[in-house]
Structure 1
Amino acid sequence: MDKQTQVVMFSSTAIALYGYDQGMMSLINTNFNYLYTMGTAGNSALVGLVVSVYYLGCALGAVLASRFADAKGRKPGIFVCLVTASLGNLLMVVMGLGVGGIDAVVPVYSSELQEDDARGTALAQEFQANIFGLNMAYILNVGVTHSLGKWNQWAWRVPIIVMQIYPALLFAVANLLPETPRWCVLHGDNERAKRSIARVFGKDQVEDRIKELTEAHKKEQEEGRISYSDMLWPGGSQFHPTVVTVMGQVNQALTGYGAVSVFGAQIFELLGFDVTTAEFITLGNYVFYSAMMTVAWVLIDRVGRRKLMVFGAVWLAVSFALLTLLGGLAYNHARLSIPLLATAIPGVSALYLATAVFGISWLVPPWLIPTEIYPSTARAQGASVSVVVWGLANCAVTFLTPIGFEGLEYYLTFEENQEFFKAAAETDSWVVSRVVDGEFKVLPQAEVEEEEEVLIDGEGNGSHGKKRTERRKTQKTLDAHEEMAPLLGRSSAR
């Protein structure tokens, strides 16, 4: 096996660790002993908070790891991240620190040891391993859950323990791989860079590649070292690449597919399937996901990143729109007299379609972009910005998803829409929220002085008579619902 293949295999195993983490939580979130241990219910906000803390750790880990990798080397950075991820079995946020660091450093390490025209293919192959990790975690979860039961603590502890396989494998082979020549040149160690080039690309390419790297480094030195302010501040030399990087990750998160990875079984339950059936349909979806990644690494260097993302965005919008419609019909099938399978099966197909499109077009490009559009002196920093945005965006998605499962319903009738706007007009405020069974509440606001013009009759009934202006002080709170119900056009008894 040549060194470039070894690098791909190593990077694939590291990225598989990230996939395993996502798949690991999918069924752990439905384990009754786990929920009892955490002191929460299945769809409560705390479930989303526990997962989202992991993504916050990823965001912080990306920044710390990229700075360490810039100073000490890509390989030492990976070592530190592996140690942190291994210790992370103790605390979710610590695991996030390690995995976030791996997500930031490994794509940079891999891209700097690949040919320019094969970089996309290599990263796509590595992310196919990411889906392998997700499948491994989910299959293990299904196996222990159905053999031990959802009340058994080992049904959720075993998958967490097995995660140690990945750091162990990576520690075992990491010393076989070289440091990247680009980092060596960046730190003035040209002899080490030459040895790395010889090991990875062959001795015949040493002179040409070392010349190319030293000239590029000299040019970057003349332009000055790039700081985070150059990347994040409008008008900075690298602000435009940063905007492209940020929006790539934001849009990937807003596809919602991160929630599918973590809460897949719950989504199929919302389509009307029982728990066991939903778990096996989710497993089929993950296997399909892995297969579709083959199409991704075949196309990404042939079709290009931009075209895949544009066409993928269109089909993802269509897929999730269909899923939303079919999910609503399944949720209301009894009231609408529709057979459940008539909506549930097309709903499964819509989500499988979204899976295929996401895997082919949107999983890899946002991770590849920062490794290709920044100069070498800012590449690790760009990758860290990418992971920070990915971590924060997925933190929001995974935190809000179970809240949405618990609190949102499909559809809003025309009459309810009319009452919403009528209530807003009558209270002279748009800060009005719909709650269960069509009732409304006034959200908290600061205490304000307001002048109100009212019509009163001689007995103070407020319906006819002369106008009187009165000044009053109001404190709007959630507890004011009973008091405000008559103004909102609904009786408090409703």
Structure 2
Amino acid sequence: MPNPPSRMGEGSSIFPVVSKEHEIVLFSSTAIALYGYDQGMMSLINTNKSYLHTMNISEESPIVGIIVSVYYLGCTIGAVISSKLADKEGRKPSIFVCLATTTLGNILMFISGLSSLAPSGSSSWNGKAIICMLFGRVVMGLGVGGIDVVIPVYSSELSSDGARGKALAQEFQMNIFGLLMAYTINLGITIALGKQNQWAWRVPIIVMQVFPVLLMSVISQLPETPRWLMSQDHKEDAKNALEEIHGKDEAKNKFDELKRVHDDEGSESVGYWDMLLPGGSQFHPTMVTIMGQVNQALTGYGAVSVYGPQIFGLLNFPTRKAEILTLGNYISYFFFMTLAWLLIDVHGRRKLMVWGSVGLSGSFLLLTLFGGLAQSPKIPDLAVEIPGGITLFFATAVFGIGWLATVWLIPTEIYPSTARAQGAAVSVIVWGLANFAITLLTPIGFNNLKYWLFLVFAVTNAFAGWWTWRYSPESGGRSFEENQEFFEAAAKEGSWLVRRVDGGSFQLMPKDSSSEEEEDGDGVRSPLLRRRTGGKR
């Protein structure tokens, strides 16, 4: 495997003027951008005439949704494979393999039906182009699904208890940057070349190669997580990694703390049956993980990301105006994600999700009203377009702040080290299956429900908020070990209601979460990554 534990990042640096902590965040953020890039990439490819002709399908065909959604099936398989690889070989080797797999899938998509360099792209594939495209989508899903498992684990295991949310929210802001980049390239080329030109859809696909190729070229210069190295009894490598991150002065204390946590956890292995069967040791946190991803899918924003122009079309916006407004929505989405990483470690994951659902449910009720008014010839177009567009922009911002990063963060915080990668895999598997269903059914909803699709999302958001309020504990501001105490207390209490477990203490962030980390003598609360100022805390 690449980058064996004993040689990971010895004294190397990607950018000498940037701290190792910031290098890790930058690397992880760029990797997460792959997830967003695919969504932005496919949103306009779905309506490209050359693409539809090459795949031999019509724009109204349900196969359009199938091509989009099989990617998520690949993600579910990639999640299982990468979690096992991450536990056995390390976080870094698993990330490298996922990046290489993404590259292969992307190339298969690019060459689908390619047999002529002419703009029209007349194909001699005799109807086989769609097979290559479907296979490429699945293979790319394998890679991106694996990245979505391992990167949050890698990042959280290298972040302090009070900054895990900020780190992951910043990474998911880059996810939106990927979406924005893909859509901007796609829209610009489409306007320049037209929807009949094959390069208007092939170029955005191949540009995606920039991300995995760049990341594979620098990954050897980053450290493996000391927690994983310690779990494999690579004590010397764990020391070296800690020295690389913190310097020799702090590394010894960090190592002693990490060893104590490792000894407390023990080496008991956790299998998927322990997570998925009632009575299993990790069944409760797994249900929290599963429902988090189900509820995120129920917000409907997988559909808004992939089918942005069609969503604006439900408010009767003409095609080109809908496409430009979608770009504006993505730009707003990117900037509002700044609020996510500013708020997530202050107010916590649970509060952001609950209030996010309230805001989304109300927004979709308004969009249902505007969609209905848009059908009346007596209502001026601008009377619907302006408030409808503003509402959709607002809803997108609310989703980004409340739901985008939170459900990916929670699984990295509530499992012991021996089950963390598997918990993240379960999260991606459910995300893949849920988004497979959403992206497959959304085009059918466009054709049959029209603007009533907004009402469906209003109801599903209300359910997501209700479930989160009742059953999802607040995991922010606490160590991995402290979060596991919630599930131990729930088992003793015989209830999963957050307000009943441990006197309701897990309804909110801990009172001292905004203060500095506890003194070095407390092994479980002291961070593995800490922002340093002049060498002191």
Q: 1:5 aligns with which of 22, 46, 64?
A: 22
Alignment of 1:68-467 (within 5 A): 68-89=85-106, 90=108, 91-221=136-266, 224-330=268-374, 332-334=375-377, 337-409=378-450
Preserved contact between residue 54 and residue 96 of structure 1 (Cα < 8 Å):
yes
Preserved contact between residue 44 and residue 406 of structure 1 (Cα < 8 Å):
no
Q: 1:17 aligns with which of 29, 34, 39?
A: 34
Preserved contact between residue 368 and residue 452 of structure 2 (Cα < 8 Å):
no
Following the alignment from structure 1 to structure 2, what is the Cα–Cα distance between the partners of residues 188 and 216? Answer: 13
Other structure's SS at 2:307 match: helix
Are 1:43 and 2:43 matched, yes or no?
no
Preserved contact between residue 315 and residue 451 of structure 2 (Cα < 8 Å):
no
Preserved contact between residue 113 and residue 200 of structure 1 (Cα < 8 Å):
no
Following the alignment from structure 1 to structure 2, what is the Cα–Cα distance between the partners of residues 2 and 339? Answer: 56
Following the alignment from structure 2 to structure 1, what is the Cα–Cα distance between the partners of residues 410 and 62? Answer: 33
Mean Cα deviation higher: 301-310 or 338-347:
338-347
Following the alignment from structure 1 to structure 2, what is the Cα–Cα distance between the partners of residues 15 and 409? Answer: 32
Report the counterpart of residue 487 of structure 1 in structure 2.
none
Preserved contact between residue 43 and residue 405 of structure 1 (Cα < 8 Å):
no
Other structure's SS at 1:117 match: coil
Return the letter of the residue paired with 2:292.
G
Report the counterpart of residue 32 of structure 1 in structure 2.
49
Give deviations 1:87-108, integer Å, cap 9, x for gaps: 0121110000000000000110
Return the letter of the residue paired with 2:316.
G
Distance change in 2, residues 1:325/1:364 (3 Å): same
Give deviations 1:71-93, integer Å, cap 9, x for gaps: 00000000000000000121110
Return the letter of the residue paired with 2:190.
T
Following the alignment from structure 2 to structure 1, what is the Cα–Cα distance between the partners of residues 139 and 367? Answer: 35
- Listed as ranges, the gaps of 5+ residues in structure 1 are 413-494
- Listed as ranges, the gaps of 5+ residues in structure 2 are 1-17, 109-135, 454-537
Following the alignment from structure 1 to structure 2, what is the Cα–Cα distance between the partners of residues 151 and 410? Answer: 29
Distance change in 2, residues 1:410/1:165 (3 Å): closer
Following the alignment from structure 2 to structure 1, what is the Cα–Cα distance between the partners of residues 357 and 52? Answer: 35
Give deviations 1:148-202, integer Å, cap 9, x for gaps: 1001011000000100000111012111101110010000001100111111123
Following the alignment from structure 1 to structure 2, what is the Cα–Cα distance between the partners of residues 308 and 323? Answer: 22
Tell me how far 1:411 sits from its aligned partner.
6.7
Other structure's SS at 1:108 match: helix
Following the alignment from structure 1 to structure 2, what is the Cα–Cα distance between the partners of residues 320 and 63? Answer: 34
Tell me how far 1:409 sits from its aligned partner.
4.3
Following the alignment from structure 1 to structure 2, what is the Cα–Cα distance between the partners of residues 409 and 253? Answer: 19
Following the alignment from structure 2 to structure 1, what is the Cα–Cα distance between the partners of residues 351 and 443? Answer: 33
Report the counterpart of residue 469 of structure 1 in structure 2.
none
The 4+ residue runs of structure 1 with deviation greater than 3 A are 409-412
Distance change in 2, residues 1:63/1:204 (3 Å): same
Other structure's SS at 1:196 match: helix
| Structure with more relative contact order (C-alpha pairs < 8 Å, separation 6 or more) | 2
Tell me how far 1:208 sits from its aligned partner.
2.4
Return the letter of the residue paired with 1:40.
I
Q: When the two structures are superposed, what TM-score results if normalisation uses the length of structure 2?
A: 0.75
Preserved contact between residue 38 and residue 182 of structure 2 (Cα < 8 Å):
yes
Following the alignment from structure 2 to structure 1, what is the Cα–Cα distance between the partners of residues 174 and 441? Answer: 28
| Identical-pair percentage | 65
Preserved contact between residue 75 and residue 144 of structure 2 (Cα < 8 Å):
yes
Following the alignment from structure 2 to structure 1, what is the Cα–Cα distance between the partners of residues 399 and 350? Answer: 14
Following the alignment from structure 1 to structure 2, what is the Cα–Cα distance between the partners of residues 2 and 45? Answer: 49
Tell me how far 1:213 sits from its aligned partner.
2.1
Tell me how far 1:410 sits from its aligned partner.
5.4
Preserved contact between residue 23 and residue 135 of structure 1 (Cα < 8 Å):
yes
Measured on the aligned residues, the alpha-carbon RMSD in Å equals 1.3
Following the alignment from structure 1 to structure 2, what is the Cα–Cα distance between the partners of residues 19 and 410? Answer: 25
Other structure's SS at 2:162 match: helix
Mean Cα deviation higher: 400-409 or 371-380:
400-409
Q: When the two structures are superposed, what TM-score results if normalisation uses the length of structure 1?
A: 0.81
Report the counterpart of residue 508 of structure 2 in structure 1.
none
Give deviations 1:193-240, integer Å, cap 9, x for gaps: 011111112322222222222222222226x21111111111111111
Following the alignment from structure 1 to structure 2, what is the Cα–Cα distance between the partners of residues 286 and 39? Answer: 30
Give deviations 1:3-42, integer Å, cap 9, x for gaps: 1100000001000111111110010011011111222222
Other structure's SS at 2:266 match: helix
Following the alignment from structure 1 to structure 2, what is the Cα–Cα distance between the partners of residues 78 and 220? Answer: 25
Are 1:64 and 2:55 matched, yes or no?
no
Return the letter of the residue paired with 1:351.
L
Following the alignment from structure 1 to structure 2, what is the Cα–Cα distance between the partners of residues 350 and 111? Answer: 34
Tell me how far 1:293 sits from its aligned partner.
0.4
Other structure's SS at 1:374 match: coil
Following the alignment from structure 1 to structure 2, what is the Cα–Cα distance between the partners of residues 60 and 116? Answer: 30
Preserved contact between residue 90 and residue 228 of structure 2 (Cα < 8 Å):
yes
Mean Cα deviation higher: 91-100 or 266-275:
266-275
Return the letter of the residue paired with 2:313.
E
Preserved contact between residue 258 and residue 398 of structure 1 (Cα < 8 Å):
yes
Following the alignment from structure 1 to structure 2, what is the Cα–Cα distance between the partners of residues 299 and 201? Answer: 27
